[in-house]
Each structure stands twice: as C-alpha cells, then as structure tokens.
Structure 1
Amino acid sequence: MKSILLCFALLTCAASAANIVIMTVEDPNNYEAPRTMREFAEKELRPLGHRVTLIEGDKPQMHHFAGLVEALKDADLLVLFSRRRFPPKEQMAAIRAHLAAGKPLLGIRTANHAFIPKPNEVVDASLAPWPEFTHEVLGGENTGYETKGLPYGVSIAPGAEASALVQGVNVANIHGYQSLYKVLPLAADATPILIGSAQDPAATPPQPVAWTRTYGPGKARIFYTSLGAPEDMRSADVQKLLLNAVAWTLQK
C-alpha cells in the first residue's frame, strides 16, 4: 500500500510540475531581482518539481535576453521582473506569442514598467519597446509612486478573503518598505487581491499591490504584484503569495 501511495504522490507531483521561465535584469533600480529570483527558484520552485530557466538580460549586450526565444517555445509560465528593457524584435515577438497562445504571465514589481522607455529616450530601431504593455496586459497604470510614510500597510482587498491567492498568507506580516506604486485605475476586468495604504491616505489613495486578470482571446492568466523589493522577498508571506500566484497562473 505504501508503494502505491508513493507512486501516486510522485505522479501527482510530476503532473503539476511546470516549465517556468524567469526574465530579469541586473540594474541598480531593479531591486536585486536576479539574486532574489535565483533564490526563489532554488528554494521554492525547484523543490516542487518545476523546471526553471533564469534568463538574465544585458548579457552580453544591453536589452538582449540571450536564450529567451528558445526558452519560451515550451514554457508554461513567464515570470517577468525586468525594468525599461526593450528586447530585439525576435525576442519581443516570442513574448507576444507566449501570451497570444493563452499562456500565463506573472509580473513582479518593475514589470509595471518593463518595456516603457523613459521620456524622450531614443530607442534603437532594432529593439522593440512595448509601452502599452502595462495597460494592455497587466491591466494597471504606471503613474508614479509614493515614498513618504514608509513602510505602508497591506490588507486583503474586499471580496478577496476567500481567494486561493491569499491562503496561508498572513498579510499582517507584509509591509511595503519601498515605494508604493500608483497603478490606478485598474482594468475593468482586473480583480484586486491586496491593497497597500500609505500612512497619509489623503496624499495617496490606497493602491492595489496585487491583482489578477486575463489577457487576449486566449485568456492568458495574468498576476501582478508591486511587491518584490529585497525586504519583501525576505518575507515568508510574500514568498507564499508568489507560490500561490504560480499555482493560480498555471491552472487551465
């Protein structure tokens, strides 16, 4: 009987295992993302049986994500934690194809402005910015941030108390130690999961810090959180939130 149960457990684990591609970049303003994503993959994702490929940009050339096109061919999930990078057209086409096929995306913090050039920035013609990505895909906006009164508090959005995304997450332990992103208004079909509240709500209204939606005809599942700074990633509850998000995005 024990051997039968063990075989069943192994089959269940294998069935739920996924091919996850993490797209990130080393940047002074990208919150140590390569390090925290590498640790998240090693400590949380791979022990669950997931196959994880970390694609780090700017190696060897800025904006280039070597290996991304090949990695996305059989990826089940794309995790995006990159800021203001504009992949070459072939690589951006692979990202768009992933989403068009109805495959999910999990965006972390700077994914909010992943492909948006700075004002008046001149972009090489061989590269492919996607300034509409934040609005079209993530379903939020990129309109600045609040840095006063840190840390800010985090609470479960009204109606999301029973969501699988917050199961096992003690939001009382989550505090925003970096800027609170201004992301309103959300798309009409977005579902807020967590809300961040600055200490002076009169200066900055509460902002969603995590939400879900679907994108495109293929109904690609999208999860985004503006959490993800190094202080956030040291929180077991933020890690649990991200693990829940991985499981949610991979549902068919």
Structure 2
Amino acid sequence: MAVEEPDNYDAVNSMNAFAANELRPQGHQVTVVVGDKPVKHHFEGLVAALKDADLLILFSRRRFLPKEQMETVRAHLNAGKPLLGIRTANHAFIPRPKDTVDAGLTIWPEFTHDVLGGENTGYETKGLPYTVSVIDGIKTPLLEGVNTANIRGYQSLYKVLPLAADATPILIGTAGAGASTPPQPVAWTRSYGANKARVFYTSLGAPEDMRIADVRRLLANAVKWTLEK
C-alpha cells in the first residue's frame, strides 16, 4: 500500500522500484496498490490483493479507509500475517485535528502504538542528515550484508519513543548540530496480536534514503525475516 502525494516521500516510485529490482528477482510476486484510486482514501484492488497476500508493506500517510478495506488490513494482521512499515506508516491511519473523516471511512489511530509498537510525536528538522548506527549488542539477520556506515537519514528524524516493551530496536538515529531531539530508534521489530504477526518498521524511506543500496538491502532482509515461519 502506497500513496503518491508530495508529503509521502515519492513512495509509489520507491515501492515500484523496490519491487522490480529487489523483490521480483528473488521470486516474490508483488502487487503495489496505489491509494486515492478511484477517489481519495480508497485503495482500489486492496481487498483482492491482500486476501491471499503473505506480507503487507505499508508506506502511506493519513488515509482513512472504507470499512471493508480497513477490515481486510485488520484481518491480515489478526491472522498472524506480517507487516513491513516504512516511514509514514507510523501515521498511516491517524487524522489531524483539522481533518474531516467522511461518512463510510474508518480511522485507526491506535495502529501506531498497538501494531507498530512506537509513537508519532513529531520530527526533528535540524542536524541533517542524521547518522544511523547499530544498537549495541544487536545480532540479527536483518543486518546481513548491510554496511550501516553507509546509511544516513536525509530528511526529518521521526520522534517515535517510547517503544513498546516487546519491541527490539535495531538501528538508532542521531541528529547533528542544532537538533534538540535525543537519539531515536529508526528500525525495530516486534510481534502483534494473539497470532504473533511479525512486524518490522523503519522511519527511513525518503527518496535519498532509498537510493542507498544498504537501505534497500535492509528492507529486502526485512521482507525475508517477516516471511519466516
């Protein structure tokens, strides 16, 4: 699921490229469902695509889905099927105070905390690009072949703390001079629900980030990890 709009970091192009260059060559069948089709907040084809999908990749912001589509997302997760969230997924279904939620559309403001296991409390625009480093002591297949020394976050560092108690942070971002925000996790894992759906989230995902081969390798590893039984 991806939305094409100025504030969503060129998500559709990034997801199409990621699917074409990283996932399909590995044998994955990928459907990129683009939001606001046929009208805003609708993801045409989502219900059919997600019904038999093994993994949901979410890169979308402030969309309020028709009831059937939101129920399909919930059903996927409740069945123990995995989720990979990218950047704006941490406010995927949250309206702003000024937003109007039209009749027939549904929101899920608890998604950020309950499913992703983080918060959405703003962002740091100073001290960019921010550096990214590995949490001390972490050993994980998610970092296989990833040289984190090559990774930078080129747009705002998301404020995501506190994480859920069961979340395992993997990467941490530290903004530079002029920033007031303390270091923030930029990638973590957890499980959701009674059926233990695997969840991976990263606040990386800006176009400049996605041009870094090691970011793409991290995401490809995350796909593999989420799909493991």
TM-score by length of 1: 0.89
1:86 aligns with 2:64: yes
Q: Secondary structure at the match of 1:53?
A: coil
Q: CA deviation at 1:122?
A: 1.9
Residue in 2 aligned with 1:100? Answer: 78
How far apart are the structure 2 equivalents of 1:37 and 1:45? Answer: 10
Q: CA deviation at 1:120?
A: 3.5
Residue in 1 aligned with 2:95? Answer: 117
Given the alignment, which residue of 8, 11, 15 partners 1:37?
Answer: 15
Given the alignment, which residue of 129, 145, 151 partners 1:151?
Answer: 129
Residue in 2 aligned with 1:19? Answer: none
Q: Which residue type is aligned with residue 193 of structure 1?
A: I
Q: How many residues align?
A: 229
Structure 1 segments of 4+ aligned residues over 3 angstroms from their partners = none
Residue in 1 aligned with 2:190? Answer: 213
Residue in 1 aligned with 2:41? Answer: 63
How far apart are the structure 2 equivalents of 1:195 and 1:61? Answer: 37
Residue in 2 aligned with 1:138? Answer: 116
How far apart are the structure 2 equivalents of 1:66 and 1:50? Answer: 21
How far apart are the structure 2 equivalents of 1:112 and 1:136? Answer: 11
1:232 aligns with 2:217: no
Q: Secondary structure at the match of 2:19?
A: helix
Whichever of the two has the greater Rg, that structure is: 1
1:126 aligns with 2:104: yes
1:182 aligns with 2:182: no
How far apart are the structure 2 equivalents of 1:122 and 1:105? Answer: 27
Q: Secondary structure at the match of 1:38?
A: helix
How far apart are the structure 2 equivalents of 1:53 and 1:66? Answer: 12
How far apart are the structure 2 equivalents of 1:210 and 1:201? Answer: 23
Given the alignment, which residue of 193, 197, 220 partners 1:243?
Answer: 220
1:168 aligns with 2:142: no
Q: Secondary structure at the match of 1:52?
A: coil
Q: Which residue type is aligned with residue 159 of structure 2?
A: K
Q: Which residue type is aligned with residue 86 of structure 1?
A: F
Q: CA deviation at 1:119?
A: 1.5
| 1:87-145 alpha-carbon deviations (Å, 9 max, x no partner) | 10000000000000000000000001000001142201200110110000000000000
- Structure 2 segments unaligned to the other structure (5+ residues): none
Asked if the contact 2:119/2:160 (under 8 Å) is kept, the reply is yes
Q: CA deviation at 1:204?
A: 1.1
How far apart are the structure 1 equivalents of 2:98 and 2:66? Answer: 20
Q: Which residue type is aligned with residue 124 of structure 1?
A: D
How far apart are the structure 2 equivalents of 1:237 and 1:40? Answer: 13
Asked if the contact 2:87/2:204 (under 8 Å) is kept, the reply is yes
Q: Which residue type is aligned with residue 186 of structure 1?
A: L
TM-score by length of 2: 0.98
How far apart are the structure 2 equivalents of 1:194 and 1:70? Answer: 34
Q: Which residue type is aligned with residue 227 of structure 1?
A: L
